[in-house]
Amino acid sequence: MNFQATIAMKISDLTDNTGEWLRGTGPESDIVISSRIRLARNVARYPFLSRANAKQKKEIEGLIRERIRESEITQDLFYINLADVSPVDRLFLVERHLISKEHAGGEGIRGVAFGKSETTSLMVNEEDHLRIQVIRSGFELRETWKTIDEIDNKLEKKINYAYSSRFGYLTSCPTNVGTGMRASVMLHLPALGMTHHIEKVFNAVVKLGLVVRGLYGEGTQVAGDLYQISNQFTLGKSESEIIEIIEGVIPRITSYERMARKALISENREQLEDRVWRSYGMLKVARTISSDEIMHLLSQVRMGVNLGIITDIEMKTLNELFILTLPGHLQKLEGRELTSAQRNIIRATYVRKRLEKIDSLQ
């Protein structure tokens, strides 16, 4: 396959599928949606991007793009030059978690390489020269680390990274220096939200030096009871130790969420079932749904499926709907730019059709 595929072709290919990390499989996948690790790397003897001129940026981009191609990270890897891509396409890639919001909104020559499974993505000229990311479905931080470590090993044979024995991998922002690693786990915690225990959990998490964020990372709003927990510190602890800390916390949060769900059932089963079924019903009949509302409805239905209240919809479908109904995806689906009101109608229609398909199969 051509490494630098035509963009239009590649992005439309994606609209029919979703990444493997949305499969809804893997350990604890009823609560842990995905495990993600990213590494920040810079090329030695070049300024960081905030100080690089256009010529240097071009050189860095060309160098890293070629090294990625030579390293044969995965077979079907292809590269998109983001400067050539429309804002809707960039938004689409952000929603897929293939690029960051900052990368989408950035300037100058920059790009992203990813494979068909969408497990691995390599952002070139983001905040750092290179950001490698691996996402997997479920609670699989160790496996995720193994994969990303291998990719990093392949690349470091060909790229001279900026590194010092004192400070580790040198990054543009000192909050990333050292391992350059951010490990995060995306959790679905509706019952802790409903029972107002969520703040307690987060206070405890923050004390361990971890951070809680919304669905799309830094500064994003919490929607659909989806939270990302990740490490704050990157220096003074090894990659393994950082992963160990997160691995120690997650099972406690998931068991707390399960306890909260049990408590909700034993206190008032009918009321909980009613909430879940009403949300499901709403998704099946509504003619216009805002993005906030759909997140809330999907969250309730997802919990209903986990609790065995709803049995006719797959976890994969639900996980996918969280992403497929986002503004960038709807606009790609329609092939044109849409106003917020138009999106709400198309969103409702799209979900209704997906769920009708399930009904007709039964």
Q: Does 236 bind other proteins (CB under 8 A)?
A: yes
- CB of 28 within 8 A of CB of 138? yes
Name the maximum alpha-carbon separation found in the chain. Answer: 65
Residue 163: count other Cβ atoms within 10 Å of its Cβ. 14
Residue from 6, 12, 221, 238 binding other proteins (CB under 8 A): 238
Q: Which is nearer to other proteins, 163 or 216 (CB)?
A: 163
Residue from 75, 164, 266, 362 binding other proteins (CB under 8 A): 164
Q: Does 46 bind other proteins (CB under 8 A)?
A: yes
Residue from 209, 220, 271, 274 binding other proteins (CB under 8 A): 209
Q: Does 247 bind other proteins (CB under 8 A)?
A: no
Stretch of residues binding other proteins (CB under 8 A), selected from 89-97, 156-164, 196-204, 269-277: 156-164
Q: Where are the alpha helices (DSSP H) in 31-185?
A: 54-71, 87-95, 101-105, 141-156
Q: Does 156 bind other proteins (CB under 8 A)?
A: yes
Instruction: Give the count of alpha carbons within 13 A of 130, CB side only.
Output: 28
Residue from 5, 26, 48, 291 binding other proteins (CB under 8 A): 48
Stretch of residues binding other proteins (CB under 8 A), selected from 65-73, 103-111, 159-167, 338-346: 159-167
Residue from 142, 157, 200, 278 binding other proteins (CB under 8 A): 157
Instruction: Give the containing element (helix H, strand E) for 207.
Output: helix 198-207
Cα distances from 126 to residues 37, 69, 337, in angstroms, run 16, 18, 26
Residue that the structure tokens 């030579």 belong to = 70
Question: Site residues for other proteins, window 62-81 (CB under 8 A)?
Answer: none
Residue from 153, 203, 220, 255 binding other proteins (CB under 8 A): 153
Q: What is the DSSP string of 219-279?
A: TPPP-TTEEEEEES--SSS-HHHHHHHHHHHHHHHHHHHHHHHHHHHHHHHHHHHHHHHHH
What's the CA gap between 168 and 248, in Å, rounded? 25
- The burial of 34, by beta-carbon neighbours within 10 Å (0-12 exposed, 13-18 middle, 19 or more buried), is given as buried
Q: Does 133 bind other proteins (CB under 8 A)?
A: no
Question: Site residues for other proteins, window 96-115 (CB under 8 A)?
Answer: none
DSSP letter at 318 equals H
Residue from 105, 174, 248, 281 binding other proteins (CB under 8 A): 174
Binding site for other proteins (CB under 8 A): 42, 44-48, 50-51, 127, 149, 152-153, 156-157, 160-175, 177-179, 181, 209, 232-239, 241
